[in-house]
Structure 1
Amino acid sequence: MKTPRWLAPLLLPLLLGACQQEAQGQQPSTPPAPVRPPVTDVTSKDYVSPPLPRAHVRLKDAFGGVHRVEVEVAATPDSRQRGLMWRTELAEGKGMLFLFPSQEMQGFWMRNTLISLDIIFITSDLHIAGVVSRAVPKTLDSRSVGAPSQYVLEVPAGWAEKKGVRKGAQVEFEGVSTISIAP
């Protein structure tokens, strides 16, 4: 196919520019990739959570022993809603502590939570109100112990039974008193 004469003067500057860029080691310019807005839905898999404060929880067992759990602390509405969603594991001795502004009936679901957990409900005077053992992942069923609590500790499934941690046991927090609780 022959190029029409009138088109040659229009193509010549484009070809010369591309050759000049190539000779100088430059790539022809491409439009920048579109910038994706940040994900703001805290329940989305792609949401990037800010780092959470760290602390420790000490729980007494039925035999007088004490078990220490290193926790991430969820003390804001967003961090409490996100919880342990999308995590694929929770190591032994680790957990998440949820802090609420006041004691009331708490209910927890397992939406987007991929691992089974024990959910330990703790009263404002730091006693265990009850334990939900081996909560089934990826469900919307509300789990509660039928008693008010102000704090909730999530640990790997089976941990409470294995350690002998039961209703009525004493709990202590380390490094929690300086963390602000948002309503």
Structure 2
Amino acid sequence: MMTPRRLALVVLPLLLSACQQDAEGRQPTPPPAPVKPPVTDVTAKDYVSPPLPRAHVRLKDAFGGVHRVEVEVAATPDARTRGLMWRTELADGKGMLFLFPSQEMQGFWMRNTLIPLDMFFITSDLHVAGIVSRAVPKTLESRSVGAPSQYVLEVPGGWAEKVSVRKGSPVEFEGVAGIEIVP
């Protein structure tokens, strides 16, 4: 059995240590802040997209010249839904290439897209099926070219006219072959 004197000898150093921490201004460690769950809505501004594969698209213009575009590749449903939403700029020579599992009628909107875009709808045999020029930002209107396509390339608005790429122009992909297209 511990005597009161022995108990005091054990407890007193603990109390002195606590008082010393208070005197030195050290605060007890606060509990950790609650963890905020990650944003899962791919259309939300604060959604953090995983990095997308990179590749290049080469388009032949009406005069035989070739224009190379560095692209991020959207080959999954989430990446295709997110697209270029919330971007505030897109430099010339940059874009996004959307890969679909098969050729069909494609329609694109500009929800949460802040910049005007040109959209090249590309057939499975790699020709431009049609172009939507200068799509108006932040609209829900579906844009299509009225012809089936398997791929869609988005670039800065006005780029198609500037480089003279037209319907029927041939297209080549570089670095796309190994990318899995998820339905």
TM-score by length of 1: 0.88
Tell me, in whole angstroms, the C-alpha distance in 2 between the residues paired with 1:164 and 1:102: 27
Tell me, in whole angstroms, the C-alpha distance in 2 between the residues paired with 1:77 and 1:106: 14
Structure 1 residue ranges without an equivalent (≥5): 1-14
Aligned residue number for residue 21 of structure 2: 21
Q: Match of 2:37, as an amino acid?
A: P
Largest Rg, 1 or 2: 2
Aligned partners of 1:124 and 1:149 also within 8 Å: yes
Tell me, in whole angstroms, the C-alpha distance in 2 between the residues paired with 1:96 and 1:122: 13
Structure 2 residue ranges without an equivalent (≥5): 1-14
Q: Match of 1:160, as an amino acid?
A: A
TM-score by length of 2: 0.88
Aligned residue number for residue 39 of structure 1: 39
Q: Match of 2:67, as an amino acid?
A: H
Aligned residue number for residue 166 of structure 2: 166
**Identical positions, percent:** 85
Tell me, in whole angstroms, the C-alpha distance in 2 between the residues paired with 1:43 and 1:20: 53
1:95 aligned counterpart, secondary structure: strand
Q: Match of 1:129, as an amino acid?
A: A
Aligned residue number for residue 134 of structure 1: 134
- How many residue pairs get aligned? The number is 169
Report deviation, 1:24: 5.1
Aligned residue number for residue 6 of structure 1: none
Q: Match of 2:120, as an amino acid?
A: I
List per-residue Cα deviations over 1:24-62 (Å, max 9, x = no partner): 553233232111000000000110000000000000000
Tell me, in whole angstroms, the C-alpha distance in 2 between the residues paired with 1:175 and 1:23: 64
